[in-house]
Structure 1
Amino acid sequence: MKQVRLLLAVEAVDTTSEDIHHRTPLWWAAAGGHEAIVQLLLDVDGIDPNSSDSCNRTPLSIAAARGYEAVV
């Protein structure tokens, strides 16, 4: 968690970056059930909570599918 806060404090870090499947840091945090990191990322300007990957899965839908109620 501390490491994520440190990264978010660096202006050069692109919090909206995507991998080859269009998965963002928010998508990966939700997919892993990392509630605190999801909250940190949602507080960052420019993060789109409705972004979807190449299979049209949003951070919300992947968290729900994996049973991460706290993230949902």
Structure 2
Amino acid sequence: MPHIIVKLWPGKSESQKHRLADHITQDVVDVFGYDEASVSVAFEEINPNDWAAKVYAADIQHSSGKLYKKPGYQM
């Protein structure tokens, strides 16, 4: 633990996903002090036409109390 799921639109390369997974893993290790072996990262590609229902409504709009970085520009 922890297990992190990144939801994104299709189209990113395997190389980009591996790179992001490596960065996320390193940040978890640095910030929380977990061993790298305990971190897992998954990617879930969501069609842009399904984003509003499957991600925005479900994970952002109705779970705003759990968000530490909300979408949009924040000054």
- Give the TM interval when normalised to the shorter protein: under 0.3
Higher relative contact order (CA 8 A, sep 6+): 2
Which of these two proteins has the greater Rg computed from alpha carbons? Answer: 2
TM-score for both structures, normalised by structure 2 = 0.27
More strand by share: 2
Higher percent of residues as helix: 2
